[in-house]
Structure 1
Amino acid sequence: MKPINTFKVNTSNYSFVHRFLDLSCISISLIFVIHSYNLQITQDYITIALTSAVVFLYIAEALHLYQSWRVGSFISVMMTVTAVFIASFLTLFGISIWLKTSVSFPDQILTLWFLMAFMSSLAWRMLKHQWTVIRSKLGINLRKMAILGATSTGANLYQEIDDCDELGFDFIGFFDDRQTARLPKDLTVISDVSKCIDEAKKGKIDILFIALPISAEKRIAEIINLLSDTTVDVYVVPVFMLSDVMQGRVTHVGKIDALSIFESPYLGSKIWLKRFEDIVVSLTALIVLSPVYMLIALTLKLTSPGPVFFKQSRYGLRGEKISVYKFRSMNVMESDGIVTQATKNDKRVTPLGAFLRRTSLDELPQFFNVLKGDMSVVGPRPHAVSHNEEYRKLIQFYMLRHHVKPGITGWAQVSGWRGETDTLEKMQKRVEFDLYYILQWSIWFDFKILMLTVLTCLKSENTY
């Protein structure tokens, strides 16, 4: 018998239809614009249409536009559509310049075509979304759903369902075998597991989510076996200790299925997308800010003795050591061994250094690190090696920060966890925000962090 993988990577059930609608928007918009300008559809325009379709689909796949999106992420879908269209437009423009095409394609036609295709693609998604929400609110074709296991994961699952009308679920309740004293007070359990299986066999449950702890593996297997005699759709929701940091991606190793727990979010084309972002942003910053670099360097030489740049060892991707550059802000040069964090009114910090640290201008040389490939523009901030060795023993999942390159700025920094970490709790919060960034990474998330960084640098809290 031909081996079949147990798990399959989930994509949208309507992904083919979605692709067809997008390509239709692009083609019909081009035909409409051509006719609006009283032009004839020639072989050149057909070539352009086919090229645009290939480019669009390639970029859409790279940005996972047709994946099965999380419920409640409609805004993320629309932002991804925007990114795909902008990237496709710029790519087509670049191809035309590179090939020095002789096709007569006025700028106004190209612009109108882009806008029409883009707006129509957004429009059908908005209509589809609204139709789904309205159907759910009207109670049309709702599916009866229950959760087996009154656990914290079960509670989180219920909250997601309660917040998202577009799911189309009619929630029946929780089922659990535990005594009332052992159950969460805020969850109402309507009956036990045997009653749940009974209801399923009677056809009173359409969808069942099993949210039992992983220690109940045998019990879960027994329940699944009993449910095999029903027509219920059954889903197992992992209740791992590591649920907050797991990636949850299914991969195949030959004939064996594996579920990823820890892995870099930059897989496949995402590696190149992230690197492209880093090169563009760092090059732009180095060119635009070159006068600032020269002014800071000159002022440093005139106001205090010592070198302009300061080099310090840090852990980079996969925990490998890298040298991170900064403008010198202190009179001492601590680079390895025991490194003491700067504190309020620290006497080691020069007057100019205090200003540089407060505004984060001392971090500007790290754009050279980004260009080299040691760092990213956005990512978890790199800590001193001695701090890494200390906190990796105290904070669970601390080293998962190094599944990505360290960044000049990060989600923790713009969320208020910037500067001195004088307590274990502060470092734990920083790591928590770093891991959230790794899980939720996207180009748009990076853009949001960059915008917030500009605002954050104007404030001086916790930075000495």
Structure 2
Amino acid sequence: MNYKQGRYSGFIKPLFAFIDLVIINVSIYLFEIHLNSIYTFCLYISLVWIIISVKNHFYEVQRHTRIIQIIPLLFRQMVFFTIILYAYIGFFKQHDISRLALGNYLVFTFALVSIFKFLTTFLLKKYRAVLRGNTRNVIVIGKNEKTRQLIKTFNKRSDFGYKFKAQFSINDNGFSLEKCFAYIIENDIDEIYFSVAELSNRQINTLIDFADNNLRVLKFIPDNKDIFSKKLKYEYYDYIPILSIRTIPLQEPANKFFKRLFDIFFASFIIVFVLSWLTPILAILIKLESKGPVFFKQSRNGFNYQEFDCYKFRSMTPNEEAHLHQATKGDLRITKVGAFIRKTSIDELPQFFNVLFGDMSVVGPRPHMVSHTNMYAQRVDKFMVRHFVKPGITGLAQTSGFRGEVESDKDIINRVKYDIFYVENWSLLLDLKITIQTFINALRGEEKAY
């Protein structure tokens, strides 16, 4: 089975945020505000701007967002920024600050940020409309007035960046979801839109399973029927309501930024203060016991099903089955040094280099060997949902008792359930909790750490 490989640029929104930060920091030098410490002020306003932006969803301007919707975003951003900026005077006891100059700075900054916001929105729309950049292939399932309006929107509003490829009518002779699925795979369709009114609950569930297992985005065209009791994301494309079945917090640029920041700092700390002295010691012990490399490299599937080289300290004697079979209890391939470093999870530490390179995260669904991933993708429902985020050195499933060898289908099914919960409910606090619990488990030792 073929799975979606490519994704869209995740750098556009962080770049816009960076430019806004440059604007609000550089503009300070144009006004005589009489600051005691300009560096403290710059740090303060930068942190304030980021926090307000996250809470205000300032950079969550989607391709279908109308210009009129940007105005209240800008207004809320600048109101909160102004209030907290003037709080700086009392908080840091800056009595010599010129209130007038600070006001002029705010007006100037608001004007520049607003111009940049509208300009970038306009340019992105032109980029998609004229150059056909960053387009997404879409199909529509269903044939009624709402689907007709949606298809008209896709074709008319080229600035949205959607390329309408096909419509499947439920009433056509020979219609089947299997034909739709084959078309989606063969034509590299990114997003599927379907009318809830025309599909049975069984067909909807089949469609959801397909989308989950093939990393496709599925969106509803709602009617008055009761759909699901899940949290649904409600959007408008012009005046057409659209529902998304799954929201993934880590697809939001701000969340992605903070998680990446956490990964870089944590991985750098481990590499500098642990691996720098531990690696030479382990290298000597591993080499003394058996011939072979110190590090073990294995291909695994990560974000969007892309393969990457996952690193470990070698814990087995070199063997041809290392890439095919998991370690089992009493496995004769495991060396004495290997048994210790596996029991304490020390063998996983080189994966912090994978984190630094961007292939992995500190916390996330554990990546499997390529051969096992292909097998589980066929056998375990919604297994592919795990690949909507980066894989982790540790994860919620591992701290919940589902680490190590997969002895039965129950093990992998429960692991996937915890992984999907993590994907849909991510927070930085959850990452910290899992990281701490992993450290505690490593000190205690785990039953399946072999």
- What's the TM-score once normalised by structure 1's chain length? 0.50
Given candidates 228, 232, 237, the residue that maps to 1:239 is 228
| 1:345 alignment partner, SS class | coil
| Equivalence for 1:115 | none
Preserved CA contact (<8 Å) 1:312 1:335: no
Say yes or no: does 1:259 pair with 2:240.
no
Match of 1:250 among 207, 215, 234: 234
- Please give the secondary structure, in 2, of the residue aligned with 1:393: helix
Q: Which ranges in structure 1 are unaligned for 5 or more consecutive residues? A: 1-41, 67-87, 93-102, 106-213, 218-234
Residues 333, 44 of structure 1: alpha-carbon distance in 2 compared, 3 angstrom cutoff: same
Partner of 1:55: 47
Between the two structures, name the one with larger relative contact order (CA 8 Å, sep ≥ 6): 2
Select which of 410, 413, 425 maps to 1:428: 413
Query: 12, 16, 35: which one pairs with 1:44?
Result: 35
CA distance in 1, matches of 2:429, 2:354: 22
For residue 35 of structure 2, what is the amino acid of its counterpart?
A: D
* 2:409 corresponds to 1:417: no
Q: Give the Cα–Cα distance (whole angstroms) in 2 for the partners of residues 291 and 63 of structure 1.
A: 41
Aligned pair partner of 2:391 in 397, 401, 406: 406
For residue 453 of structure 1, report the CA deviation from its aligned partner. Answer: 0.6
State how far apart, in whole Å, the 2-side matches of 1:310 and 1:54 are: 42
Give the gaps of 5 or more residues in structure 2.
1-32, 59-80, 86-91, 95-198, 203-223
* Corresponding position: 1:448 with 2:433: yes
Distance 1:64 1:447 in 2: 24
3-state DSSP of counterpart to 2:381: coil
**Pairwise mapping of residues 99-138 of structure 1 onto structure 2 (< 5 A)?**
none
Distance 2:321 2:55 in 1: 39
Is the aligned partner of 1:353 residue 2:341?
Answer: no
2:305 corresponds to 1:323 = no
1:358-414 deviation line (CA, Å, top 9, x unaligned): 111110110111111111111000011111111111211100000001000111111
Tell me, in whole angstroms, the C-alpha distance in 1 between the residues paired with 2:241 and 2:52: 27
* Cα deviations by residue, 1:111-153 (Å, 9 ceiling, x for unpaired): xxxxxxxxxxxxxxxxxxxxxxxxxxxxxxxxxxxxxxxxxxx
> In 1, distance between residues paired with 2:356 and 2:55?
23
Q: What do the CA deviations read for 1:174-215 (whole angstroms, capped 9, x no partner)?
A: xxxxxxxxxxxxxxxxxxxxxxxxxxxxxxxxxxxxxxxx85
Does residue 1:306 correspond to 2:306, yes or no?
no
Aligned-partner Cα distance in 1 for 2:201–2:321? 49
Q: Is the 8 A contact 2:248 2:425 kept in 1?
A: no
* Kept after mapping to 2: 8 A contact 1:329/1:356: yes
* Match in the other structure for 2:366: 381
CA shift for structure 1 position 43: 4.4
1:460 CA drift (Å): 2.4
Q: Which has the larger radius of gyration?
A: 1
The 5-angstrom pairing of residues 286-297 of structure 1 reads 286-289=271-274, 290-297=276-283
- In structure 2, relative to structure 1, the CA distance for the partners of 1:325 and 1:64 (3 Å cut) is farther
User: Aligned partners of 1:349, 1:307: CA distance in 2, in Å?
Assistant: 14
Q: Secondary structure, in 3 states, of the residue corresponding to 2:378?
A: coil
Distance change in 2, residues 1:303/1:252 (3 Å): farther
- Residue 268 of structure 1 aligns with which residue? 253
Task: For 1:389 and 1:50, locate their aligned partners in 2 and report how far apart those are by CA, in whole Å.
Answer: 50
Q: Is the 8 A contact 1:317 1:402 kept in 2?
A: yes
Checking the alignment, whether the CA contact within 8 Å between 2:311 and 2:351 is kept in structure 1 is yes
Secondary structure of the corresponding residue to residue 249 of structure 2: coil
User: Are positions 1:461 and 2:450 aligned together?
Assistant: no
Question: How do 1:391-402 residues align onto structure 2 when only pairs under 5 Å count?
Answer: 391-402=376-387
Cα pair 2:311 2:350 within 8 Å, conserved = yes
Q: Determine the structure 2 residue equivalent to 1:166.
A: none
Question: Which amino acid counterpart does residue 239 of structure 1 have in structure 2?
Answer: F
Task: Please tell me the root mean square deviation across aligned C-alpha atoms, in Å.
Answer: 3.6
What secondary structure does 2:354 align onto? Answer: helix
Counterpart-to-counterpart distance in 2, 1:49 and 1:309: 46
Q: Distance in 2 between matches of 1:253 and 1:413?
A: 40
Question: 8 Å contact 2:233–2:246 — kept in the other structure?
Answer: no
TM-score normalised by the chain length of structure 2: 0.52
Partners of 2:46 and 2:225 lie apart in 1 by 38
